[in-house]
Amino acid sequence: MMFKALKRRKTEPLPAKVNRRRQKIGRYVALGIDYLILILFCLFVLLPYLIVVSTSFKTLMESTRIPFHFIPWDFTVDAYVQVLRESSIWRGLLNTLIVVVPPMFVGIFTSSLSAYAFSKIRFPASKVMFTILLMTMMLPGVVTMVPAYVIYDLLGWIDTYWPLMLPEVFGGISCVFYLRQYFNGLPDELGEAARLDGLSYFGTFLWIFLPLAKPACVAQLILWFVGGYNNYFGPMLYLNSESRFTLQLVVNLMAGGFDNNWPKVMAATIVMIIPMLIFYVTMQKYFVEGIAMSGLKA
Amino acid sequence: MNKQEMAAADPLVPQQTDPVQKPKRQKFGMNRRRNIAGTLFAMSPLLGFFLFSCIPMVLSLYMSFGEMKTFDIFDIEMVGFDNYVFIFTEDPLFFKSILNSFVYSITTVLLRTIFALLIAMLLRSIPRGSKLISAILFIPFVCSVIATSVMWKWVFDYNYGVLNDLMDIFGLPRVDWLHETETAMGVIIVQTVWGNLGFGIILYTAAFAAINRSYIEAAMIDGANRFRMFFSIEFPMISPTTFYLIVMGFIGALQSFANFLVMTPNGGPDFSTLTMVYHVYNSAFGYLNFDYGMGYASALSWVVGIIVILFTAANFWLEKKWVNYDV
pLDDT for position A108: 95
Neighboring chain B residues of A273 at a CB cutoff of 8 Å: 142-144, 147
Using the beta-carbon criterion (under 8 Å), do B3 and A198 form an inter-chain contact? yes
**Closest by Cβ to A269, choosing from B39, B55, B147:** B147
Residue A161 CA, chain-centre distance (Å), reads: 22
Neighboring chain A residues of B45 at a CB cutoff of 8 Å: 110-111, 114, 133, 170-173, 176
Is the previous residue joined to A140 through a cis bond, with omega within 30 degrees of 0? no
| pLDDT tens string A252-274 | 999 887 777 889 999 999 999 99
| pLDDT tens string A54-108 | 999 999 888 888 888 888 888 999 999 999 999 999 999 999 999 999 999 999 9
Residue A209 CA: distances (Å) to CA of A118, A205, A231, B179: 13, 5, 31, 55
pLDDT for position A53: 94
| Cα B12 to Cα B19: distance, rounded to the nearest angstrom | 13
DSSP state of A162: H
Q: H-type helices in chain B, by residue range? A: 3-9, 24-49, 55-63, 82-89, 94-125, 130-138, 145-155, 162-169, 184-209, 213-221, 226-228, 235-237, 239-255, 258-263, 276-284, 293-322
> Domains plus CATH for chain B?
3-63 (no CATH), 87-322 (1.10.3720.10)
| pLDDT tens string B172-188 | 998 999 999 989 999 99
In this structure, CATH architecture of domain A79-296: Orthogonal Bundle (1.10)
**Closest by Cβ to A48, choosing from B53, B151, B251:** B151
Domain ranges of chain A: 10-56, 79-296
pLDDT for position B232: 85
Beta carbons of A269 and A255 less than 8 angstroms apart: yes
Q: How many CB pairs under 8 A join A and B?
A: 315
| Cα B97 to Cα B94: distance, rounded to the nearest angstrom | 5
| pLDDT tens string B279-293 | 999 999 988 877 888
Amino acid at A74: D
pTM higher than the cut 0.90: no
**Closest by Cβ to B151, choosing from A52, A148, A229:** A52
Cβ count near A296 (within 10 Å): 16
| pLDDT tens string A148-188 | 999 999 999 999 999 999 999 999 888 998 899 889 988 98
| pLDDT tens string A20-38 | 777 888 888 889 999 999 9
**Residue A3: which pLDDT band, with cuts at 50, 70 and 90?**
very low
| pLDDT tens string B226-261 | 788 888 888 888 888 899 899 889 988 998 888 999
